[in-house]
Structure 1
Amino acid sequence: MSTRSTSEGYSGRRFVLAPNIAPDWGQTMRIFAGLSVVCLGIALVCTWMGFWPVLPFAGLELTALGVALYTSARRSLDRELIHVVGNAVRVEKGRGRVEQAWDMDRAWTEVVLRRLPRRWEETQLLLRSRGQELVIGGFLEPEERRSLARELGRCIGPMARCGDDGAVPATAGDEAQAALSVAPSNSLGDRTG
């Protein structure tokens, strides 16, 4: 998981949530090509020696590996952006681009970290506003979810302390880095490994 908090000229905050589960597409293709060469090389040698049933199984094995690597590489593009600007909270979710977006009123939005019943140490992070509940950070570890809930609680809700008139100073720490933020767009940003 990668979480990044940014601020831009004291105008707001942006949290970028991304799973840290796979290399980028180019690395994935190189890994697959290398494994394919080795596996097919062994299968061809076995076929040449008369053990022809090895070749179809090698093909099945490579097909399964390719599907698994493709699925993992696609999931690495998942992003969740939380923009806190002025009196608005905007949440954008998608894979490489914005697929869903929600707008909430900052003063009426509550950050809720809820324990799931019958699951050991499992939590769910919600933004709740005027009867609407939105689950965020589903791919985060429990400690990362708690840390994000603390950071969001500082700048969302009726008692938030983000600064005066929406001014938000940049924070430094393990879970936040100062960087430039941009207005919501159709892109969910770069992979932040």
Structure 2
Amino acid sequence: MVSSSRSDASLVIIAKPNHSSSWRNNKLALLAVSVPSMGAAIGFTALGAWPILPFAGAELFALAAALYYVNWKLEYRHVITLDEQTVSIDKGHYAPKRRWRFARDQVALAITPEKHPWEGPGVTVHGKEETVIVGEFLNRDDCLSLVALLREELLVRTHGPIRRIKI
């Protein structure tokens, strides 16, 4: 999902993965699964089949851990801020973990064509010394909207496969 907001002097673009469900809905789904599972496990424990209870608990713990991990991965985002002097890119889950800052006149956009029609193009912002890949988790439509937003603001200096030269 790509969203943008423009103020007088800057443009903020937020790119994040699509969510199929919120954390609240995941907790409700976990509750819906755990009530009958634990009910059956407690029932079998009352009948003397106590080894079922730890397995039911382990199963629910594994499901909760998987739901939490997927939700955590879907909170990842790229925040690209373009103002008159600088371009900054922040990457992180709930807060920025990595930050890049480029001078506006020294930054360019590199677009790598997609390998398959379902994929989106690769988008890279590069300055004199560093290169930052943005939006690698986006689907094709979202990636194309990110490219359209960035093309309005930045020069496209490379449109094709990026080749690494080893010396």
SS of alignment partner, residue 15 of structure 2: strand
Identity rate, percent: 25
Name the structure 2 match of 1:102.
100
Per-residue CA distance 1:94-117 (angstroms, 9 max, x = gap): 11112111111223322222146x
State the partner residue of 1:6. 5
CA contact (8 A) 2:16 2:77 kept: yes
Shift of 1:56: 2.8
Unaligned stretches of 5+ in structure 2?
158-167
Asked whether 1:138 is paired with 2:136, we answer: yes
Amino acid at match of 2:126: R
**Distance (whole Å) between structure 2 residues aligned to residue 55 and residue 21 of structure 1:** 33
The amino acid of 2:17's aligned partner reads P
Q: Secondary structure at the match of 1:66?
A: helix
Shift of residue 35, structure 1, vs aligned partner: 2.0
Equivalent residue number for residue 153 of structure 2: 155
Question: In the alignment, is the contact (CA less than 8 A) between 1:92 and 1:101 conserved in 2?
Answer: yes
Q: CA deviation at 1:57?
A: 2.4
| Range 45-54 or range 58-67, more displaced | 45-54
Q: CA deviation at 1:65?
A: 0.2
Q: Any idea what SS the aligned residue of 1:97 has?
A: coil
Report the Cα distance in structure 2 between the residues aligned to 1:115 and 1:38, rounded to whole angstroms: 49
- CA–CA distance in structure 2, aligned partners of residues 12 and 47 of structure 1: 62
- 1:18 to 1:158, Cα distance in 2 relative to 1, 3 A: closer
CA contact (8 A) 1:22 1:76 kept: no
SS at match of 2:12: strand
Deviates more, 1:24-33 or 1:72-81: 24-33
CA contact 2:111–2:156 (8 Å) conserved in 1: no
CA distance in 1, matches of 2:122, 2:59: 36
Does residue 119 of structure 2 align to residue 120 of structure 1? no
Q: Deviation at 1:71?
A: 0.5
**1:22/1:72 Cα in 2 relative to 1: closer, same or farther (>3 Å)?**
farther
Counterpart of 1:88 in structure 2 is 86
Q: Larger deviation: 15-24 or 92-101?
A: 15-24
Which stretches in structure 1 are left out of the alignment for 5+ residues?
160-193
Instruction: Output the TM-score relative to the length of structure 2.
Output: 0.79
The residue number in structure 1 matching 2:24 is 26
What's the counterpart of residue 67 of structure 1?
65
Deviation at 1:51, TM superposition (A): 4.2
Give the TM-score taking structure 1 as reference length.
0.70
Secondary structure at the aligned position of 1:63 is classed as: helix
* Shift of residue 50, structure 1, vs aligned partner: 4.5
**2:116 is matched by which residue type in structure 1?**
W
Q: Letter of the aligned partner of 1:7 in structure 2?
A: R
